[in-house]
Chain A
Amino acid sequence: MNWRLLLTGHRDAYTNMAIDESIMIHVGQGALPPTIRLYGWTPAAVSIGYFQGLEDEVDLKKCKNHGIDYVRRITGGGAVFHEHEVTYSLSISESSLKIPQNVLESYMVICQGIIEGLKELKINAEFAPLNDILVGGKKISGSAQTRRNRTILQHGTILIDTDVEKMFSILKVPSEKIKDKMIEDVKERVTSIKMALSKDVSFEDVCIAMAKGFEKSLEIELENGELTENEVQLAKEIKRDRYSNPDWNHRR
């Protein structure tokens, strides 16, 4: 069976999260093949983990001033600033033999697709459990996974470029005094495709590399597809009811 590849371009944060969830639900119903989606974020946004406190992590006023959206994910993990990156999501039934039942192992198998994709771009990367991918010891990719109705959804980022100052302009820090130190720490710990190669790589080229990476590592064939009408419709409803709903985003 061929898997489906969706290249959905750049969308806003609420739409992006709603599309991932809609795909997961439809794949879970068995009507659609396992699906990999590659996408970006416009405007830039911060996503927080399922269990995080919105105002613990994000300076909402500064977000508003900078035109940066914020959204709570259905997956756990930490706050992520999304700007110059390719985001992937992978939806597949838990009964598939391609992905281990064990959550830890499944992270490793799925992240192998990103590692292969980076290899396509001539970047050597390694998996760092639970959910990170490192280049030269620095983080280039992070992922988060949920399982609902016997279906796995894993999504994550592949950094094309970083803007740590911008990221810290909207994330809460314990005190202004240590902000500069934190910025320096993150710069030490985070890298990007641009930094690894000392050149710019386009969003489209990273998407192509990642699609190849998943095909190789999972031994699958990806077939370009579109969201179905049902997926689009459900995504609209999920966006309205969940991701653009303050009750959801402010629930913790």
Chain B
Amino acid sequence: MIKIGKCTYKVPNGKLLKVTVEYEKKTIKKVQIRGDFFIHPEESLDDLERSLMGIDYDRKKISDAVGEFFEKIGLVAFGITPKAVVDAVMKCKGSAE
């Protein structure tokens, strides 16, 4: 059964993230990250969300994927941090259980 977790997460000194995670057992099916932050180039957020599809719903796995994304050359972000994304995605898990 697919569960849907949702959360609103205030990034310390940053913006408000609204995250939805669809997952089945231990596997992430889909993630959507919304909010009033800035990421240049903008389209790369779709890549981040895609990179989380199919991975284990596990802090370490998510942390690695998000870390890799933020280290991409030329990526500039304001109001959102790798740690905030990981924390928010993990927080969603609790919300559905």
Show the binding face of A for B, using Cβ within 8 Å: 49-53, 56, 74-79, 103-104, 130, 144-148, 252
Q: Is the CB of A146 within 8 A of B42?
A: yes
Q: Is the CB of B36 within 8 A of A147?
A: no
Closest 4 CB pairs of A and B: A78-B36, A76-B38, A53-B34, A50-B42
Whole-angstrom distance from the CB of B78 to the nearest CB of chain A? 5
Chain B residues with Cβ below 8 Å from A130 are: 38, 78-79
Q: Is the CB of A79 within 8 A of B36?
A: yes
Show the binding face of B for A, using Cβ within 8 Å: 15, 18, 32-42, 45, 76, 78-79
Judged by DSSP, the binding face of B is: strand
Q: Across the two chains, which residue of chain B brings its CB closest to A148? A: B41
Whole-angstrom distance from the CB of B83 to the nearest CB of chain A? 18
Q: Is the CB of A56 within 8 A of B76?
A: no
28 cross-chain CB contacts under 8 A: A49-B35, A49-B36, A50-B42, A51-B34, A51-B35, A51-B36, A51-B39, A52-B34, A52-B35, A53-B18, A53-B34, A56-B18, A56-B34, A75-B38, A76-B36, A76-B39, A76-B42, A76-B78, A78-B36, A103-B40, A103-B78, A104-B78, A130-B78, A130-B79, A144-B38, A146-B40, A146-B42, A148-B41
Chain A residues with Cβ below 8 Å from B37 are: 49, 51, 76
Whole-angstrom distance from the CB of A101 to the nearest CB of chain B? 11
Judged by DSSP, the binding face of A is: loop
Q: Across the two chains, which residue of chain B brings its CB closest to A78? A: B36
Given contacts A77-B36, A78-B15, A147-B40, 6 further A-B contacts (CB under 8 A): A49-B35, A51-B33, A53-B18, A76-B39, A76-B42, A144-B38
Whole-angstrom distance from the CB of A211 to the nearest CB of chain B? 27
Docked pose: A247 CA to B65 CA in angstroms:
28
Whole-angstrom distance from the CB of A162 to the nearest CB of chain B? 19
Q: Across the two chains, which residue of chain B brings its CB closest to A49? A: B36
Chain A residues with Cβ below 8 Å from B41 are: 147-148
Chain A residues with Cβ below 8 Å from B34 are: 51-53, 56, 252
Chain B residues with Cβ below 8 Å from A78 are: 15, 36
Chain B residues with Cβ below 8 Å from A53 are: 18, 32, 34
Chain B residues with Cβ below 8 Å from A144 are: 38
Chain B residues with Cβ below 8 Å from A74 are: 42
Whole-angstrom distance from the CB of A110 to the nearest CB of chain B? 14
Chain A residues with Cβ below 8 Å from B42 are: 50-51, 74-76, 146
Whole-angstrom distance from the CB of A66 to the nearest CB of chain B? 23
Docked pose: A36 CA to B37 CA in angstroms:
25
Docked pose: A49 CA to B35 CA in angstroms:
8
Q: Is the CB of A52 within 8 A of B40?
A: no
Whole-angstrom distance from the CB of B36 to the nearest CB of chain A? 4
Docked pose: A76 CA to B45 CA in angstroms:
11
Docked pose: A79 CA to B41 CA in angstroms:
19
Chain A residues with Cβ below 8 Å from B45 are: 51
Docked pose: A145 CA to B40 CA in angstroms:
9
Whole-angstrom distance from the CB of B54 to the nearest CB of chain A? 21
Docked pose: A145 CA to B38 CA in angstroms:
9
Q: Is the CB of A77 within 8 A of B18?
A: no
Chain A residues with Cβ below 8 Å from B79 are: 130
